[in-house]
Amino acid sequence: MVLTTQRGVDIAFSSADLALSIDDFSDRFIKPAIANVANGIDFDGLGQYINIYNEVGTPGTVPNALLTYLQAGQRLDEEAAPRDNDRSLVISPAMQATIVDALKGLFQDADSISEQYLRGTMGRTIGFKWSMDQNVRTQTVGAYSPGGATVTGGGQSGSSILTGGWPNTTQVLNQGDVITFAGVFAVNPQNRQSTGALRQFVVLANVTSSGGGVATIPVACSGGFGLIAAGPFQNVSALPLGSAAITVSGASGTGPSPRGLAFHKDAFAFASADLPLPKGVDMAARVNDKQLGMSLRLIRAYDINTDRFPCRVEILYGWTTLYPELCVRIAS
């Protein structure tokens, strides 16, 4: 994990402001500042969707049935994700409104019905803790022009697949697009048996075809690897045959549309580092939360000309995807 993101917010207040009650001061200055920093961390964390290869739903169509979310759980089961109380769903406002409305007439646990009716949220159901987040990231499918794209040469393995049949000299795929190869199925990571579902791959970088419609696609799936058909890290039932058809998740050019996430807590990791405390200022302090892995620094100076205390709250942090197989994207 590389800690490269330094995010902070500047605030300023007067001596009169400091004389307020602690509750007033917190509501007016501290909470808005921390909310700004937290929102940025959250936004960056949801950007990890770009590393996730499993996807359910249809890009451009908000799921209006519980089945889509059950299929996300099914995909996690097929990837041997733990079935415990540490699975979560993070969805967009439109996804939440749609699914709560779709389920309002069903017979369910009374407490769940109350939660949905009174709060407009899903709470905990179908093995997930549901959360709505306005920072859910969006994806635009590449302008690949449907039909004709195939693998060029059978037996290719690894993270670079040579393909052909694309439109000439066009950016045909975007980083984060999801594709499948005909005849290449996912396998259970424990017994290496086919799950019966085509293995999905995430495209690792924008792909532009040559003048002859040829394109090399960088891909990854289970464990962050490319295609592996044998051995302890096997993740596909077989390598693609020559001329195997390529299917892209979503119609050409669809988007931008949100990608919710269904995941186990071990899928991602967050960490921050202690920033140094400078000398020669009115105050410099640091707050750590070991459980969250967060270290916040506050620096406060004093301007005698205006009787103002300029402050800065900041954090140095990083996100990484540890186990992409423990997460499923939900297209909408």
For residue 25, the model assigns a pLDDT of 80
Judge if 35 and 52 occupy the same domain: no
For residue 19, the model assigns a pLDDT of 83
For residue 300, the model assigns a pLDDT of 94
Judge if 19 and 162 occupy the same domain: no
Q: Quick check: is 218 in a domain?
A: yes
Query: Running along the chain, 332 residues long, what does each successive block of 10 average in pLDDT?
Result: 93 87 81 92 97 98 96 96 94 95 69 57 82 97 89 96 93 97 96 96 97 95 93 96 96 96 97 94 92 91 94 96 97 97
Quick count: other Cβ atoms within 10 Å of Cβ 92? 22
- What CATH number is given to the structural domain containing 264? 3.30.2320.10
Report yes or no: 321 and 220 within 8 Å, Cβ to Cβ: no
For residue 133, the model assigns a pLDDT of 96
- Please state the domain count of the chain: 3
Judge if 78 and 107 occupy the same domain: yes
Q: Quick check: is 79 in a domain?
A: yes
For residue 217, the model assigns a pLDDT of 98
Judge if 31 and 91 occupy the same domain: no
Report yes or no: 330 and 91 within 8 Å, Cβ to Cβ: yes
For residue 1, the model assigns a pLDDT of 84
Q: Quick check: is 14 in a domain?
A: yes
Among 219, 248, 277, the domain boundary falls at: 248
For residue 298, the cross-strand partners are 285, 313
Q: How far apart are CA 86 and CA 126, in angstroms?
A: 12
Judge if 162 and 208 occupy the same domain: yes
Report yes or no: 224 and 134 within 8 Å, Cβ to Cβ: no
For residue 251, the model assigns a pLDDT of 96
- What CATH number is given to the structural domain containing 183? 2.40.30
Among 195, 214, 248, the domain boundary falls at: 248
Q: Quick check: is 144 in a domain?
A: no
Q: Which two tokens stand for residue 201?
A: 């791959």
Judge if 156 and 281 occupy the same domain: no
112-129: burial string, b at 16+ Cβ within 10 Å, e else: eeebbeeeeebbebebbe
Q: How far apart are CA 62 and CA 133, in angstroms?
A: 15
For residue 315, the model assigns a pLDDT of 96
> Is the N-terminal amide bond of 256 cis, ω within 30° of 0?
yes
For residue 21, the model assigns a pLDDT of 76
CA dihedral 43, 48, 49, 51 (to 10 degrees): 160
Judge if 167 and 241 occupy the same domain: yes
Judge if 237 and 179 occupy the same domain: yes
Q: Quick check: is 287 in a domain?
A: yes
For residue 293, the model assigns a pLDDT of 85
Q: How far apart are CA 99 and CA 117, in angstroms?
A: 12
Domain membership of residue 97 as a residue range: 48-139+256-268+324-331
Judge if 241 and 154 occupy the same domain: yes
Q: Quick check: is 84 in a domain?
A: yes
For residue 111, the model assigns a pLDDT of 60
For residue 106, the model assigns a pLDDT of 61
Q: Quick check: is 145 in a domain?
A: no
